[in-house]
Structure 1
Amino acid sequence: MINLFRRLKYISQMAFSDKYLLGTNCIISISLSSVGDVIEQQLEIYKKEIDKWDGIRTRNMAASGMTVGIFCHYWYKLLDNKLPGRNFNAVIKKVLVDQTIASPIVIFLFFATLGVMRSASFSETSEEIKHKFIRLYKAEWIVWPTAQVINFWILPNRFRVLYDNTISLGYDVYTSYVINEPIPTNQSQPQQLQPQDKTLDVINKNQNFIQS
């Protein structure tokens, strides 16, 4: 048992060392993004919104998680270099910069990666961002400011992506729901008549007038 703990400790130290940290962060992000989507799909199956688990959808969410994981890996290094320290002022500055700069980038990266994985056109991806960005960004402000205070105040840089992904597991469920939700179509606008329809409409009105 002691040897097992020593082995696990050695693996953990290697995984979170500078040499392997990027790969570790990618694996963590891919894994927990996948888990978040699987949980959301199981909820949708339970509510009879979908019939069965969609592996391609989970693959797409995993790819988005990897993209975000790579960004966050370098973002936290940059943030610590530009705003060093763990005092109150430094932590608050980091949280504000993270929310106003990194959060929008993360959301855009999610949509962009999904667009590539789905072979969506630029206009389709833009339309999806237009309809869903604000909802996700509002949710970011609910979840992350408090969580990031703990992240920047207590944790060393190498554990931040792990912490992010652990905290965001519930948020990833919501993200999966929003991102995979169909874009609502505007059905309130009256249907425009085609030229031939307009001609028939005029003829019908004239016939009704003559008959009266």
Structure 2
Amino acid sequence: MAAGDSACQSCEIRSRSGQRFHLWRFASIFAMGCSVGLFLHYPYLWLDRLLPAPGLRSLPTVLRKVLVGPRVASSLLGVWYFLGLGWLEGQTLDESHQELRDKFWEFYKADWCAWPPAHLVNFLFISSQFRVIYINGSTLGWGT
């Protein structure tokens, strides 16, 4: 997430005269990325235990795993992102909650467009020990 924010800020600096790198914005995004990253490791292990594939890569099992992610993780992580980042930016809980209400559905719809295809590739073609690394690369694109 921090690398994505750096890329965005670099583009903003090049396209707008007088724009500077916002270190606090970068630090806030970095902190949120670290907290989300800690959460993401364990759901993959849990999904593999909950929905073991009868074959090497069972398509029905993969599709169930793909559908669990956006319904559970996107909701929880979206709420955590908006409230956590709002807190880091000095917003009150009411302000963060209002931002969550204003932006969540757009975020959630975009999430459904990006993450199910990424997870389909992840669960069909990526070995379990490399799934978090693959998702980190996908998150770089998402964050940017």
Q: 1:171-204, CA deviations, whole angstroms, 9 ceiling, x for partnerless residues?
A: 101xxxxxxxxxxxxxxxxxxxxxxxxxxxxxxx
Task: Provide the residue aligned with 1:154 in structure 2.
Answer: 125
The answer to whether 1:127 aligns with 2:98 is: yes
Of structures 1 and 2, the one with the larger relative CO (CA 8 A, separation 6+) is: 2
What SS does the corresponding residue of 1:120 show, helix, strand or coil? coil
Alignment of 1:31-110 (within 5 A): 33-48=1-16, 51-85=19-53, 86-110=57-81
Partner Cα distance (1:148, 1:120) in 2: 33
Kindly report the root-mean-square deviation, in angstroms, between the aligned alpha carbons of the 2 structures.
Answer: 1.6
CA contact (8 A) 2:4 2:141 kept: yes
Count of matched residue positions in the alignment of Structure 1 and Structure 2 = 141
Separation in structure 2 between the aligned mates of residue 139 and residue 49 of structure 1, nearest angstrom: 30
Distance (whole Å) between structure 2 residues aligned to residue 159 and residue 46 of structure 1: 35
- Normalised to the residue count of structure 1, the TM-score between the two structures is 0.62
Structure 1 unaligned residues grouped into runs of 5+: 1-32, 174-212
1:160 shift after superposition: 1.4
Percent of aligned pairs with the same amino acid: 35
| Deviation (angstroms), 1:49 | 7.8
State how far apart, in whole Å, the 2-side matches of 1:171 and 1:49 are. Answer: 26
Q: What TM-score results when the alignment is normalised by the length of structure 2? A: 0.89
Instruction: Name the counterpart of 2:135.
Output: 164
What CA distance in whole angstroms lies between the structure 1 residues aligned with 2:104 and 2:132? 22
Deviation at 1:50, TM superposition (A): 6.5
Bigger Rg, which one: 1
CA distance in 1, matches of 2:14, 2:116: 32
Counterpart of 2:110 in structure 1 is: 139
Residue type at the aligned position of 2:70: Q
Give the match's secondary structure for 1:168. Answer: helix
Contact 1:36–1:169 (Cα < 8 Å) also in 2: yes
| 8 Å contact kept, 1:72–1:161 | yes
Gaps of 5+ in 2: none
